[in-house]
Amino acid sequence: MSIVDLAVQNLVSPMVLFFALGVTAALVRSDLSVPEAAAKFLALYLMLAIGFKGGTEVSKSGLDAAMGLTILAGIALSFAIPMIGYTLLRLTTRLGAVDAAAVSAHYGSISIVTFVAATEIVRGLGLTFEGYLIAVAAVMETPAIVAALLLARRAAPREAGSQGESMGALLREVGTNGSIVILVGAFFIGWATGERGMDMIAPFIVDPFRGILCLFLLDMGLVAGRGLRQGGRELSPALIAFGIYFPLVSAALAAAFAAMLGLSVGGAALFITLAASASYIAVPAAMRLALPEANPAIYLTLSLGVTFPFNLALGIPLYAAVAARIAG
Amino acid sequence: MSIVDLAVQNLVSPMVLFFALGVTAALVRSDLSVPEAAAKFLALYLMLAIGFKGGTEVSKSGLDAAMGLTILAGIALSFAIPMIGYTLLRLTTRLGAVDAAAVSAHYGSISIVTFVAATEIVRGLGLTFEGYLIAVAAVMETPAIVAALLLARRAAPREAGSQGESMGALLREVGTNGSIVILVGAFFIGWATGERGMDMIAPFIVDPFRGILCLFLLDMGLVAGRGLRQGGRELSPALIAFGIYFPLVSAALAAAFAAMLGLSVGGAALFITLAASASYIAVPAAMRLALPEANPAIYLTLSLGVTFPFNLALGIPLYAAVAARIAG
Amino acid sequence: MSIVDLAVQNLVSPMVLFFALGVTAALVRSDLSVPEAAAKFLALYLMLAIGFKGGTEVSKSGLDAAMGLTILAGIALSFAIPMIGYTLLRLTTRLGAVDAAAVSAHYGSISIVTFVAATEIVRGLGLTFEGYLIAVAAVMETPAIVAALLLARRAAPREAGSQGESMGALLREVGTNGSIVILVGAFFIGWATGERGMDMIAPFIVDPFRGILCLFLLDMGLVAGRGLRQGGRELSPALIAFGIYFPLVSAALAAAFAAMLGLSVGGAALFITLAASASYIAVPAAMRLALPEANPAIYLTLSLGVTFPFNLALGIPLYAAVAARIAG
Amino acid sequence: MEMHSKKRIEILLEAPAQKRLTDLLDRLDVNGYTVLPVIGGKGHHGVWSREGLPSAAGTMVSVSVIASEERLDEVLRPVFELVRRHIGIVTVSDVMVIRGDRF
Amino acid sequence: MEMHSKKRIEILLEAPAQKRLTDLLDRLDVNGYTVLPVIGGKGHHGVWSREGLPSAAGTMVSVSVIASEERLDEVLRPVFELVRRHIGIVTVSDVMVIRGDRF
Amino acid sequence: MEMHSKKRIEILLEAPAQKRLTDLLDRLDVNGYTVLPVIGGKGHHGVWSREGLPSAAGTMVSVSVIASEERLDEVLRPVFELVRRHIGIVTVSDVMVIRGDRF
Ligand SMILES: Nc1ncnc2c1ncn2[C@@H]1O[C@H](COP(=O)(O)O)[C@@H](O)[C@H]1O
Ligand SMILES: Nc1ncnc2c1ncn2[C@@H]1O[C@H](COP(=O)(O)O)[C@@H](O)[C@H]1O
Ligand SMILES: Nc1ncnc2c1ncn2[C@@H]1O[C@H](COP(=O)(O)O)[C@@H](O)[C@H]1O
Ligand code: NA
Ligand code: NA
Ligand code: NA
C-alpha cells in the first residue's frame, strides 16, 4: 500500500472520524459531552488494556537485550527532545522560558492514545510489533519532565520552583501519577499471567477495544475543539507551526534510533510515533505541579488541538511509511 | 406468531422486565440508582451504536428515492402530530396552552430507546428493516419542537417567548443538542466507513448492545417510577388516557404513510413506532429553553411514566402486528 | 490439583494481582483512582450479571427441596455467625458492645465479590455449582444485620437505637438497599427469561465479566489500601487476628452444613465462601443507619482491608480444598 | 433591587442518612432544600474520599436550607438532634434573597 | 492579612439554561464565575434528583459570581430577569477576598 | 440554640494541587476541611469545564475550612502563599456553628 493510500484509508477510519466529529461538535457549540467520570474510566480502560497486552507479548517473547536497548533509547529521546524543542521554541516563538520548558516537556513525553491509534494502523497493515514497546512508552513519560524542569530552573530560577520543592519530591508526585501506575502495573500483570491471563480477560480488553477507542477519541475531539475555540488565540502562527513540524523532527531522530536498534517495521513505526507524539494526560497534570507559572492554555491546546490531530490524521501513516523504508 | 403470542413473549423479555424492575424499585423507595454519569454514558453509547448501524446499512443498500420520501414523511408526521395532540389536549384536559404545546411536542418527536426496543423485537421476529430509518428517526426529533413553539406563541404570546428569542436562535440551541449530534454524526461515520468500519467496532457496538439496553431500561424504569411517585398527582385521568390513546392515533397515521411508502414489514413496524413514541431525552431539555413556563413534571411523567411503558409492553407488538397486515 | 498448587495458581491470577496493584498504588499514595460513578456502575454490573446467571441456572435445573434447605441453612448461618463473632470480639478485643455488634454483622453477611471470585476459581477447576447459590447469597445479606442489632440493643440499649427507630422501619430501610434489589431482581429476571434471555445478553454479562471483575478488584484494592493507610491504626493486633481466623471459624461451620446438605463440590466451595466472606458494600451502609454510633473505620478496614484479601488470596483455595474433601 | 434577609442552614451529613434528613425536613415543612455533592474531607473521624466507593457508606452530602430567621430555631433543633447521632456538621450563615415570601 | 469586602451572588438554575446564564454573565462583563454541581433538591416545583437522568433536563447547577458591591445591582437585575422565567433561585451574601482588585 | 461565630475559608484551587493544599492544612493542624467538586468556571485564565477531561489537569476543586477567628490569619497566610502560585482564589465569610469547641 502506498503512503497516499495509507493516509487516505486512515482518514476514513472510524477513529479519525469520531475525533473529527468531536471537534466539529465543540466548534458548533453543541452540548454533546462525555461525563468526566466516563472519560476518566475510558482512559483507565485504555491504559489497562494496552499495558496488559504489552505484558502478555513480553511473556511470550521473553526478555532480550533488544528490549533493554530500546528502553534506554526511549529514555534518551525523552530527555533530549525537550532540549531541542525548548531551543526551537525560544528561537522561533515569543514564549518565555517557563512556558517554553512546559511545552517542550509535552513533546519529550508521549501520548498513549496516539500510540494506541498507531498500533491499530500497524495491525491494519498486517504487521506485528515488539510487545515491550509498551514498556518503552511507559519509561518515556517522565524523563521529559525532568529535562523541562532543569531547563526552566536554569533559565528562570526565580519563577520556576521558587518555593524550593526538591526535584526528588516533585518526581515522587509525578511518578505516582495514576496513568503511569496503571500502565506499568497492567504490564507486569500481563507479563506474570501470560496467555492464561489474556484468555481470561480478552473479551473485555481486546474485543471491544477499538470501539471504546472511538468513543475516547470522540471525547478527545470535544476537548480539543473546546480548547481551540477558547484557547486558540493563545497560539501564535509560529507556535502552531511548531506543533506540526516538531513531531517530524522528533520522528526523524527516532527513525535513526529505530534503524540502529533493528526494530521490526511495526515496531519502528510505533517507536517513531512515541517520539513524535506529545502528552496531554500525564504531563499537563505534572506541569501544574512542577511549573505552575506556565500557561496551561498554551500547552494543552498545542498538544491536543494541533499535534494530536496532525499525528492521528497524517503523522502515523507517514511514520509507518518511513518505518517500512528503514526497517524490515 | 399471533399478536397475543408476540405480546406475551415481549412481556417476558429481559428488556421489559428490567424496566419493570426499575419501576418497582423506585416505587418501594429502594436506593437503587444508576449514577448520572453512567446514565449519560449509556445514552451516548446507544445513540452512537444505533446511528452507526444505520449508517452501515445505508452504505450497503445505497441511497434511493424511498429514503428521501420516508424522510419527508417523517418530517411531515413530526410536524403534524403535535397539532393534533395539542387540539386533543385542549379539548379533553385542563392543560393551559403552553403546557399543552409542550406535551404535544414530546409526542411529535421520537424516543430513540423505544425505537431501539422495537428493532430488537423486529429482529427477534426474523425481520429486517431499512437502515435509513435511523436517519428518519433523527430528522423527526426537531420539527415537533417548531410546531409546539408556533402553537404556544399563537395561543399565549405573552407567556411563551416573551423574552423574544428568535425562532432561529432557539433552533440553534435545540438543533445542536448532543443526542442529535451523536446520532447523526455516528450515522454519517457508519455510512462513510461501511462494513470495514463495522467490523472494527462491532464487538463494542453490536455484541453487548442488548445487555446495555437492559441496563439503560432499568435506569429508565427507576426514573419513571420516581416520576410517578413524585409527579403522579400532576396527571389527571384525562391526561393519563391521552398518554395511552394518543400513541395509537399517531400510529394509525403513520401506518397509512407506511403503506403508501411501501416499507418492508420490519420497516413499517419501526416507522409506526417512531410516530407513536414520545421523546423524553431531547425534547424535555429543549422545552426548558423554548417554553420554560411549561411544567416539566407533567410532560416528563406522561412521556416516560405512561407512554414509554405502554409502548414497550404493548404498543410495539401491536405496531408490528399492524405492519404485518399493511406491508410485506 | 493440590491445595498448594491451587493457592499458587490463584495468587498469580489477574484478579488477585489487580487487587494487589490497587493496594500498592494506594500505599505509595498514587493518585490512581476509579471515579465514584464508575465504581458504582461496576458494582451494579456485577450484581446484575451474577443475579441473572443464577436465575438462568435455576430456570434450567428447576426448583427442588435442596434449594429450600440450603436457603434455610444460609439464613441460619447469617444469623448465628454474628453471635459467635460478637462473643469472640468481646472476649479477645477491646471493642465496645456497639462496635463489636457492627463488626460481627459484616461477618454474618456476605461479600458478593468474594463469591464471584470464588465462582471463577471453581470454574477454573472445571467444576460446576448449584445456580440457586446466588439466591442463598441474597438471603444471607440481612439476617446478620438483625442479629447485630439485637446484640447491640441488649448490650447497650442507651446508645444503640436510642432514637427508637422500630426494627421494622430499619429493616425496610436496609432491605430496599440497591445492591440487594438488583441482585434479587436480576435473579428473578434470569429465572423468568431463561436461556432465551441469557442468549440475548450473554455478550454483555458473560463475556467481559472477568475483565470487569479485575477492574473492580483494582478499585477495591485502592479503597482497601487507602483504608489501611488511614484507618490502619484503629486495628489492634487482636482485631487483625480476628479478621483472619474468624472466616475460618465460619467456614468450618458452613462446611458442616454443606456436608449435610449434600451440595456438589463446587457448590460446597461457594457455600463455605459465603459464610467466610464479610460484607463491605451493603452492610457498612446499613450500619450507618442501624448503629451510627459504631466507628466505620474499624469495620470497613477490617472487612475490606484484612478479611477480603485473605479470602481472595488464601481463603478461597482453602475452602475449595475442604469442599473437595467433604462433598462430591 | 429589594432584598430580604434570610438564614442559610448547611448540613454536611454522611450520605446513608440523607433520606432521614430530607424526610425530617419534609415533616418540618421547610419551603425547600438543595443537595450538593461532596468529594472528600477530614475531621475527627479521619480522612475520607468518595473516590472508588461503590456504595453510599463513607461518603457525605451537603444539604442547604434557606429559611426565615423566625423559623431558624424550630428547624435547627430537630435537625441537630438527627445530625448529632451521625457523622456531620451544621453551619448557619446570613443570606439575602429577592423573592422573600418564597422562603 | 488585608481583606476586601465583596458580594457573592449564587444562582441555582435548571441546567438546560446554564449556557444562557453564562452567556449573560459574559455580556455583563463580570470578572469570573464558578459552576458547582447540585445533586437534588425540593421546592415549589417538587422534588428532583439528578440520579439516572440521561440529559440535562431535570437537573440544576449552581453558578456563583463574586462581584464588588457597586456592581451588584447592575449584575443582579438582568440575572434575576433571566432566572425568573426558569426554575431557579438567587441568593446574595457577604464575602471577603484577599486580592480585591481582581473582582 | 446557642451558636458560636466562626470563619469559613473557601479555597478554589486547581485540582492537581489539591494534595499540596490538604497536606498544608494537615501541617497547619486545622480541625478539618471539606472538599467540594466544581464543574466549570471562568476567570482571568479563561473558561474551563471538567467535562470530558481524562485527568485532573484543567479542573478545580473547592476546599472549605471552618476555623475560629483567632486562627484565621495563621491559616490564611500559608494557604494564600500556596494558592498564589497556582490557579485559585480564596474567600472568607462568617458562619455560625453549634458545637463551637470542635472548630
Ligand atoms: N473544621 C472543619 N472545616 C470544614 N469541614 C469540616 C471541619 N471539621 C469537619 N469537617 C467536615 O465534616 C466531616 C465530618 O467531621 P468529623 O465528624 O469531625 O469527622 C469531615 O470529614 C469534614 O468533611
Ligand atoms: N428554601 C429553600 N432552601 C434551599 N433550596 C431551595 C429552597 N427552595 C428552593 N430551593 C432549591 O431551588 C430549586 C427550585 O425551587 P422551586 O422553584 O421552588 O421548585 C429546588 O429544587 C431546590 O433545589
Ligand atoms: N469573580 C469571580 N467569581 C466567581 N468565581 C471566580 C471569579 N473569578 C474567578 N473565579 C473562579 O476562579 C477560577 C480561576 O480564576 P482565574 O485565576 O481568574 O482564571 C475561575 O475559573 C473561576 O472558577
Ligand atoms: Na514525544
Ligand atoms: Na412520536
Ligand atoms: Na459471611
In the structure, which protein residues have their CB atom closer than 6 angstroms to any atom of ligand 3? E 31-34, 64-66, 103; F 12, 41-45, 48, 87, 89
Task: Say what angle helices F72-85 and F18-28 make with each other, to 10 degrees.
Answer: 160
Q: Would you state the pLDDT for residue A5?
A: 84
Give SS3 for D18.
helix
Per DSSP, A234 falls in state G
The owner of cell 473485555 is: A204
Q: Would you state the pLDDT for residue A160?
A: 64
- Specify whether the CB–CB gap between B273 and B316 falls below 8 A: yes
Give residue A167's pLDDT band: very low, low, confident or very high (50, 70, 90): confident
Q: Would you state the pLDDT for residue B171?
A: 82
Q: Would you state the pLDDT for residue F94?
A: 97
**C70: which residues sit within 8 A by CB, 6+ positions away?**
C130, C132, C133, C136, C261, C263, C271
Q: Would you state the pLDDT for residue A210?
A: 95
Sign of CA dihedral C10, C12, C13, C15: positive
Query: Nearest CA to CA, how far is C48 from chain B (Å)?
Result: 9
Of the ranges A271-275, B170-174, F9-13, which one carries the lowest mean pLDDT score?
B170-174
Rounded to 5°, angle at Cα F39 from F37 and F40? 130
Considering every ligand atom shown, identify the ligand nearest to the alpha carbon of residue B275 and give its number.
5
CA distance C243 to C228: 13
CA distance C306 to C111: 13
Q: Would you state the pLDDT for residue A118?
A: 96
Of the ranges A83-87, B82-86, B290-294, which one carries the lowest mean pLDDT score?
B290-294
pLDDT at residue A166 greater than cutoff 80: no
CA distance B262 to B66: 8
Residues, chain D, total?
Answer: 103
* C-alpha dihedral (B251, B255, B258, B263), degrees to nearest 10: 90
Q: Would you state the pLDDT for residue C63?
A: 86
- Specify whether the CB–CB gap between B22 and B217 falls below 8 A: yes
Q: Which amino acid is at A228?
A: L
Domain count, chain C: 1
**Phi first, then psi: what are they for D11, rounded to 5°?**
-115, 110
Q: Would you state the pLDDT for residue C7?
A: 84
Q: Would you state the pLDDT for residue C139?
A: 94
The CATH number of the domain holding residue B274 is 1.20.1530.20
Task: Tell me the chain E residues in contact with residue B216 when contact means C-beta distances shorter than 8 Å.
Answer: 54
Q: Would you state the pLDDT for residue D101?
A: 76
Per DSSP, C301 falls in state I
Atom of ligand 1 nearest to the CA of D41: 23
CA distance E75 to E9: 9
More confident site: A257 or A231: A257
The owner of cell 468481646 is: C90
Q: Would you state the pLDDT for residue A161?
A: 57
CATH T-level topology, domain D4-102: Alpha-Beta Plaits (3.30.70)
Nearest to C214 among A179, A201, A207 (CB): A201
Q: What is the pLDDT of residues A27-59, one digit of tens each?
A: 999 999 999 999 999 999 999 999 999 999 999
Q: Would you state the pLDDT for residue C41?
A: 97
Mean pLDDT of C149-166: 76
Task: Say what angle helices B112-124 and B36-61 make with each other, to 10 degrees.
Answer: 60
Q: Would you state the pLDDT for residue A197?
A: 95
Considering every ligand atom shown, identify the ligand nearest to the alpha carbon of residue C108 and give its number.
6
pLDDT at residue A173 greater than cutoff 90: no
This complex has an ipTM of: 0.95
Atom of ligand 2 nearest to the CA of E12: 12
pLDDT at residue D57 greater than cutoff 90: no
pLDDT at residue E58 greater than cutoff 70: yes
CA distance E61 to B166: 25
Considering every ligand atom shown, identify the ligand nearest to the alpha carbon of residue D12 and give its number.
1
pLDDT at residue A164 greater than cutoff 70: no
> What does each C-alpha distance from C176 to B24, C142, C285 come to in angstroms?
11, 11, 12
Give residue C231's pLDDT band: very low, low, confident or very high (50, 70, 90): confident
Give residue A328's pLDDT band: very low, low, confident or very high (50, 70, 90): low
pLDDT at residue D72 greater than cutoff 70: yes
pLDDT at residue B241 greater than cutoff 60: yes
Give SS3 for B197.
helix
**Phi first, then psi: what are they for B33, rounded to 5°?**
-155, 150
Say if C28 falls within a structural domain.
no
DSSP characters over A201-222: HHHHHTTTHHHHHHHHHHHHHH
- The ranges assigned to domains in chain F are 4-102
Mean pLDDT of A139-152: 94
Cell of B178: 448532543
Contact yes or no for E42 and D33 at CB 8 A: yes
Q: Which parts of D45-99 are beta strand (E)?
A: 46-49, 60-67, 88-97
Of the ranges A61-65, A257-261, B241-245, which one carries the lowest mean pLDDT score?
A61-65
Give residue C160's pLDDT band: very low, low, confident or very high (50, 70, 90): low
- Specify whether the CB–CB gap between F25 and E22 falls below 8 A: no
Mean pLDDT of A266-286: 96
- Strands E60-67, E33-37: pairing is antiparallel
Chains C and E touch (3+ CB pairs under 8 A): no
Give residue B157's pLDDT band: very low, low, confident or very high (50, 70, 90): confident
Atom of ligand 3 nearest to the CA of E31: 1
Give the distance (Å) from ligand 3 centre to CA of residue C298.
40
Mean pLDDT of C160-169: 67
Q: Which parts of chain E are beta strand (E)?
A: 4-14, 33-37, 40-43, 46-49, 60-67, 88-97
Q: Would you state the pLDDT for residue C129?
A: 94
Report the residue among F13, F36, F42 best suited for mutation to probe ligand 3: largest number of ligand atoms under 8 A from its CB. F42
Mean pLDDT of A202-208: 96
Give buried/exposed letters for C249-287 (b at 16+ CB in 10 A, else e): bbbebbbebbeebebbbbbbbbbbbbbbbbbbbbbbbbb
Mean pLDDT of A130-147: 94
Query: Nearest CA to CA, how far is E12 from chain F (Å)?
Result: 14
CA distance A139 to A180: 9
Cell of D58: 463513607
Sign of CA dihedral A256, A257, A261, A262: negative
Task: Tell me the chain E residues in contact with residue F42 when contact means C-beta distances shorter than 8 Å.
Answer: 22, 25-26, 32-33
In the structure, which protein residues have their CB atom closer than 6 angstroms to any atom of ligand 2? D 31-34, 64-66, 103; E 12, 41-45, 48, 87, 89
Cell of C160: 444503640
C41 in contact with B, Cβ within 8 Å: yes
Given a contact as 3+ CB pairs under 8 Å, which chains touch D?
A: C, E, F
Q: Would you state the pLDDT for residue A93?
A: 97
Q: Would you state the pLDDT for residue C161?
A: 57
Q: Would you state the pLDDT for residue C328?
A: 65
Mean pLDDT of E58-72: 96
Q: What is the pLDDT of residues F3-56, one digit of tens each?
A: 999 999 999 999 999 999 999 999 999 999 999 999 999 999 889 999 988 888
> What does each C-alpha distance from B21 to A326, B14, B221, C188, F88 come to in angstroms?
61, 10, 7, 10, 46
Contact yes or no for B214 and C201 at CB 8 A: yes
Give SS3 for A123.
helix
Mean pLDDT of B186-203: 96
DSSP characters over B50-83: HHHHHHHHHHHH---HHHHHHHHHHHHHHHHHHH
Contacts 24+ apart (CB under 8 A), C170-175: C170/C289, C170/C290, C171/C142, C171/C145, C171/C146, C173/C286, C173/C289, C173/D19, C174/C142, C174/C145, C174/C286, C174/C289, C174/C290, C175/C142
- Specify whether the CB–CB gap between C93 and C239 falls below 8 A: yes
Residue with the smallest CA separation from ligand 3 atom 16 is: F43
Contact yes or no for A203 and C212 at CB 8 A: no
Give residue B164's pLDDT band: very low, low, confident or very high (50, 70, 90): low
A11 in contact with B, Cβ within 8 Å: no
Q: Cα A232 from chain centroid?
A: 21
Mean pLDDT of B305-309: 97
CA distance A273 to A119: 10
Say if B28 falls within a structural domain.
no
pLDDT at residue C34 greater than cutoff 90: yes
Cell of A267: 515496531
Q: Would you state the pLDDT for residue A7?
A: 84
Rounded to 5°, angle at Cα E38 from E47 and E35? 145
pLDDT at residue B161 greater than cutoff 60: no
Task: Tell me the chain D residues in contact with residue C105 when contact means C-beta distances shorter than 8 Å.
Answer: none
Task: Tell me the chain F residues in contact with residue A216 when contact means C-beta distances shorter than 8 Å.
Answer: 54
pLDDT at residue D12 greater than cutoff 60: yes
Nearest to F1 among D80, D89, D93 (CB): D80
Q: What residues of chain D have any CB closer than 8 angstroms to a CB in chain F?
A: 12, 36-44, 49, 60, 62, 73, 76-77, 80, 89-94
- Specify whether the CB–CB gap between C268 and C326 falls below 8 A: yes
**Phi first, then psi: what are they for B104, rounded to 5°?**
-65, -30
Give the distance (Å) from ligand 1 centre to CA of residue D43.
4
Cell of B170: 432557539
Task: Tell me the chain C residues in contact with residue B207 when contact means C-beta distances shorter than 8 Å.
Answer: 203-204, 207
Please tell me which residue of chain D has the smallest CA distance to C160.
D85
Cell of C77: 448461618
Report the predicted TM-score, pTM, of the whole model to 2 decimal places: 0.96
Burial class of residue B85 in the structure, from the number of CB atoms within 10 Å of its CB (0-12 exposed, 13-18 middle, 19+ buried): buried
pLDDT at residue A231 greater than cutoff 90: no
**H or E element: which one contains F63?**
strand F60-67
Closest CA to D82 of D8, D7, D12: D12
Q: Cα A79 from chain centroid?
A: 15
Considering every ligand atom shown, identify the ligand nearest to the alpha carbon of residue E86 and give its number.
2
Please tell me which residue of chain A has the smallest CA distance to F50.
A36
Per DSSP, E33 falls in state E
Q: What is the pLDDT of residues D19-56, one digit of tens each?
A: 999 999 999 999 999 999 999 999 998 899 999 888 88
Chains F and E touch (3+ CB pairs under 8 A): yes
Mean pLDDT of B28-44: 95
Give buried/exposed letters for C133-157 (b at 16+ CB in 10 A, else e): bbbbbbbbbbbbbbbbbbbbbebbe
DSSP characters over A287-314: HHHH-TTS-HHHHHIIIIIIIHHHIIII
Percentage of residues of chain A with pLDDT beyond 70: 97
Instruction: Give me the domain span that covers residue B184.
Output: 3-22+34-327
- Specify whether the CB–CB gap between B103 and B85 falls below 8 A: yes
Q: What is the pLDDT of residues A92-119, one digit of tens each?
A: 999 999 999 999 999 999 999 999 999 9
Query: Nearest CA to CA, how far is F31 from chain D (Å)?
Result: 6
- Specify whether the CB–CB gap between A15 and A113 falls below 8 A: no
Best of A44, A172, A174 to disrupt the C interface (most C CBs within 10 Å) is A44
Chains F and D touch (3+ CB pairs under 8 A): yes
Report the residue among F12, F89, F91 best suited for mutation to probe ligand 3: largest number of ligand atoms under 8 A from its CB. F89
B12 in contact with C, Cβ within 8 Å: yes
* C-alpha dihedral (C163, C169, C171, C177), degrees to nearest 10: -100
pLDDT at residue C159 greater than cutoff 90: no
Give SS3 for D13.
strand
Q: Is C128 left (phi over 0), alpha (psi -120 to 50) or beta?
A: beta
Number of Cβ atoms within 10 Å of the Cβ of E35 = 24
